[in-house]
Amino acid sequence: MSEPVSPAAHPLDEIPPRDHARPTDRLVSFAKRWLSAALSQGTAMPAIASLVIIAVFFQSQSQYFLSPGNLSNLAVQATLVAIIALGEIFVLLLGDIDLSLGSMAGASAALLGVMITNGHMPWLLAIFIMLAFGALLGSFQGWWIAWLGIPAFVVTLAGNMGFLGLQLYILGPNGTLGIFDPNIAALSGTELPVSVGWILAAIVGVAVVASTLVRYARGGVAVRSLSRPVVVGVLIVVAVAVFNASRGVPTPFLILIALLVVAWWVTMNTSPGRHLFAVGGNAEAARRAGVQVKRIRMAAFAVSGTLGAAGGLIAASYNGSAGTLTGGGTLLLEAIGAAVIGGTSLFGGRGSVWAALVGALIMSGVENGLDLMNSDQPVKYMVQGVIVLLAVSLDTILRRRQSRGRQLGAAIA
């Protein structure tokens, strides 16, 4: 049953060697086919392209933009937005939205402050309670949405206000609680030693190569799909090299990557993860197939609440305090923007957890680059607004192209 597929089975691989074709021609035609394949699948390609454009543009404006020091700063800046965006992606995949994550982060940070500073609780226990608090509030919202069928937009909008009230209530009259626990501060303020960074990169690299070889040996892997592990490996090495040229891999960024890897595993390799996509694509079809739609929906909001609390943890750690402004401002909107820019559809059923990273890097990259150019806040907001608008337009256009394709197909049949 498991004869390996000959590598030449895929059309891309069976280009006959043409003596007269110049290498550049072949390169160009390969790039063209690759680009059109990537675009037609609605992947993160546009986002990655914009990342490159941003890098080139700001580097031309300021020599400092691509320096290891600034890129490390950028990674830390992007972490908070990315964690919230990751939470957002879980509900966006369902076609829902969570407008409460800013206040969720703020309220859980306030709770952390009370537990650590007033309650002198062990830091790990406090973090655990804080994340459970986020999960609980998220499930609470999910219950209204899944079981009562109230639109997520409304429930989480109410949640946003309610949790802000909760945040202010927990903080009490002072309005700010200092959080001086060194372990919590270390979550955002430290870097891995250079050698540890390299060892980690080596371990991950070996794991990627090994798993690829295993898949290859099991058969059924086209040579073309081997390019992805290579790209991932190169990216890891480059990233670690850049961070190590500064002060080492930032701890919060490492936490983010760990969260992304777990989220990726769950969404790609487990049935609840795949059911997120199924429900987002066609909830009634999923229900008829026996998917526990309500449970999936509630679980997704529990996850987004937990990640909102995790964002609150990173923010509190970074600021050394929990205040009335923690989780406020444009954080939530930047996170939603990041998720969408990264290629997550607002209509549900399409996207990837990596959108959180790519999107957050774009949002923070623009902010960071404009800072380097000494731009004012008004300009920054306007540029970010334009970027989000373009990203959503692209999403809508891709979606329309897809569905038009189907209607055409149905009409012909």
Residues lying near another protein in the complex (CB under 8 A) are found at 1-3, 5-6, 9-10, 215, 218, 220-222, 224-225, 265, 269-271, 274-275, 277-278, 280-282, 284-291, 349-350, 402-403, 405-406, 409-413
Residue 225 vs 324, nearer CB to another protein: 225
Strand boundaries in 212-364, DSSP class E: 321-323
d(CA 156, CA 355): 22
Q: Nearest distance from residue 130's CB to another protein, in Å?
A: 24
Q: Calculate the CA 332 to chain-centre distance.
A: 13
Residue 57 vs 265, nearer CB to another protein: 265
Using a 10 angstrom Cβ sphere, with 0-12 exposed, 13-18 middle and 19 or more buried, the burial of residue 36 is exposed
Q: Nearest distance from residue 37's CB to another protein, in Å?
A: 11
Q: Nearest distance from residue 87's CB to another protein, in Å?
A: 21
What is the Cβ-side half-sphere exposure of residue 249, based on CA atoms within 13 angstroms?
22
Assess contact for 152 and 96: CB atoms under 8 A.
yes
Q: Nearest distance from residue 9's CB to another protein, in Å?
A: 5
Residue 303 vs 331, nearer CB to another protein: 303
DSSP 140-199: HHHHHHHHS---HHHHHHHHHHHHHHHHHHHH-TT-EEE---HHHHHHHH-B--HHHHHH
Q: Nearest distance from residue 403's CB to another protein, in Å?
A: 7
Residue 284 vs 376, nearer CB to another protein: 284
d(CA 198, CA 227): 22
Residue 187 vs 286, nearer CB to another protein: 286
Residue 172 vs 219, nearer CB to another protein: 219
d(CA 254, CA 260): 10
Q: How many CB atoms lie within 10 A of CB 45?
A: 16
Q: Nearest distance from residue 184's CB to another protein, in Å?
A: 28
